[in-house]
């Protein structure tokens, strides 16, 4: 402050001046004094966005490109600016850098996990949503007999090398579709859509889910949940959240009410009616991302109370399976698998093809004559080759006596950390088996008992 001679008032020294040298200039790294007064009776501090540290540094799963002053001064005023996500990997080292490979979860940021040498932060259960498998794995033509194919032509791909196109559409409600898990719950979906038909200056693209439940006389329950205007030759994003639990009839689709979900198909179509074969524009789709947002059970037929085995298969070899009322852990039904060909033959449930970590729980009973080990096992295949892979067992419950319901549970990462880097996963599954290598009563053989499964649960271990 200085006296103002004409008036006799004590007033702040003018901004950006310091005639009495009261504000000692400090280095920009301190975010302290600039060497001038601020016009308000104090020393001016280095302002917002003044670079105080240009050396890259780490903040958990982010790379801090630079640090800047926030204008308040003091030791805590040099704050991160220009951070870059490491996409699930930890940031480390000197100079600081994002990780690029992992052997286990320790190389991943908090909440992420290691799968096939890649840290996964936000699981996309649509493993081939970007068509980079180079195949149509997971895709189908929805609501009719249109023709789906991959496209690589310039302009018809949103990202990467491939996209999908649905042509020879006979009606507005047909389009490219991707299969989702059957469990009742919420999914957050984003996708990119495109059309280049010269007869359509623009159209309204829509994301729809077709849910098939217990009543086979009903084609499906159709739920529209996202729309966007698609001009000719323009990629447009569709985004929305669908909750199958609240948008389908409980008595038909909910296993707790005696229903089940047979299939869930997400697809792209258009809202404009009236087009027919030769007039319906080709629809393109790419970069589909599907996230589970509520941790729901992904199994749409978990208790078999509807009396069907939809969604369940045989792990290997051959066996007969049926929904029966002979035994049940809860309710009146369970899944029975009998005439099992090998000890590794057992009830199997497919998982999504996207990288994921799952909490798996099956209630299992064996109905043999002696005790057996009950084993929770996983399997997967990489599209690049190598055949079906069988990681170490997730859980083994040893010496389970006949007629005793036993919970067999564990956490499964698919693909595991040591899988082929970049594995484009197909046929991931979990199943129950027993000890031994061959069925029979001879030397080295074991009794292959009937296996029963009930009250199954598969949930994402991590959700966005």
How confident is the model at residue 463, as a pLDDT?
Answer: 56
The percent of residues above 70 in pLDDT, for the chain, comes to 99
How confident is the model at residue 49, as a pLDDT?
Answer: 83
pLDDT digits (tens, 9 = 90+) for 169-225: 999 999 999 999 999 999 999 999 999 999 999 999 999 999 999 999 999 999 999
pLDDT digits (tens, 9 = 90+) for 304-326: 999 999 999 999 999 999 999 99
How confident is the model at residue 464, as a pLDDT?
Answer: 53
How confident is the model at residue 55, as a pLDDT?
Answer: 86
Provide the pLDDT confidence category of residue 56 given band limits of 50, 70 and 90: confident
Q: Does pLDDT of 115 surpass 60? A: yes
Q: Domain 312-460, CATH 2.60.120.260 — does that match? A: yes
Query: Are the folds of 139-292 and 312-460 the same?
Result: yes
pTM score > 0.85 for this model? yes
Provide the pLDDT confidence category of residue 2 given band limits of 50, 70 and 90: confident
How confident is the model at residue 385, as a pLDDT?
Answer: 85
Domain 139-292 sits in which CATH superfamily? Galactose-binding domain-like (2.60.120.260)
Instruction: Indicate the average pLDDT of the chain.
Output: 95
Query: Which sequence spans correspond to the domains of the chain?
Result: 2-92, 139-292, 312-460
Q: Does pLDDT of 66 surpass 60? A: yes
Query: How many CB atoms within 10 Å of residue 330?
Result: 13
Q: What is the mean pLDDT of residues 2-20?
A: 84
How confident is the model at residue 368, as a pLDDT?
Answer: 97
């Amino acid at each position: 402050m200085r006296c103002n001679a004409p008036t006799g008032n004590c007033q702040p020294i003018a901004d950006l001046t310091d005639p009495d040298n009261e504000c000692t200039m400090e280095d920009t790294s301190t975010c302290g004094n600039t060497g001038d007064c601020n016009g308000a009776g104090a020393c001016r501090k280095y302002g917002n966005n003044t670079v105080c540290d240009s050396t890259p540094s780490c903040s958990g799963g982010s790379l801090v490109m630079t640090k800047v002053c926030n204008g308040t001064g003091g030791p805590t005023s040099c704050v991160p600016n220009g951070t870059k996500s490491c996409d699930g990997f930890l940031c480390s080292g000197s100079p600081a850098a994002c990780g690029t490979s992992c052997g286990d979860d320790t190389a991943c940021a908090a909440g992420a996990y290691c799968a096939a040498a890649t840290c996964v932060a936000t699981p996309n259960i649509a493993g081939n949503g970007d068509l980079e498998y180079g195949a149509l794995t997971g895709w189908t033509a929805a609501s009719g007999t249109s023709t789906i194919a991959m496209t690589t032509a310039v302009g018809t791909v949103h990202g990467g090398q491939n996209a999908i196109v649905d042509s020879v559409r006979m009606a507005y409600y047909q389009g490219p579709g991707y299969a989702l898990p059957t469990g009742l719950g919420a999914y957050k979906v984003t996708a990119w859509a495109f059309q280049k038909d010269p007869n359509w200056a623009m159209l309204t693209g829509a994301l729809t889910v077709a849910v098939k439940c217990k009543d086979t006389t009903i084609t499906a329950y159709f739920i529209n949940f996202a729309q966007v205007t698609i001009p000719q030759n323009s990629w447009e994003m569709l985004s929305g959240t669908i909750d199958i639990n609240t948008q389908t009839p409980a008595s038909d689709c909910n296993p707790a009410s005696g229903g089940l979900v047979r299939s869930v198909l997400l697809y792209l179509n258009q809202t404009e009616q009236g087009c027919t074969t030769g007039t319906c524009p080709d629809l393109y789709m790419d970069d589909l991302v599907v996230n589970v947002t509520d941790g729901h059970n992904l199994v749409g037929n978990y208790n078999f109370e509807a009396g069907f085995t939809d969604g369940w298969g045989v792990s290997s070899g051959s066996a007969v399976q049926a929904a029966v009322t002979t035994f049940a852990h809860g309710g009146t039904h369970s899944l029975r698998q009998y005439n099992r060909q090998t000890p590794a033959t057992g009830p199997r449930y497919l998982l999504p093809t996207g990288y994921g970590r799952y909490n798996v729980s099956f209630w299992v009973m064996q109905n043999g004559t002696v005790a057996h080990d009950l084993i929770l096992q996983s399997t997967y295949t990489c599209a690049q080759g190598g055949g079906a892979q069988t990681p170490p067992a997730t859980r083994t419950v040893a010496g389970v006596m006949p007629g005793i319901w036993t919970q067999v549970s564990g956490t499964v990462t698919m693909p595991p950390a040591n899988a082929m880097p970049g594995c484009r996963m197909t046929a991931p599954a979990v199943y129950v088996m027993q000890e031994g290598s061959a069925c029979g009563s001879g030397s080295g053989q074991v009794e292959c008992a009937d296996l029963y499964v009930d009250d199954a649960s598969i949930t994402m271990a991590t959700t966005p």
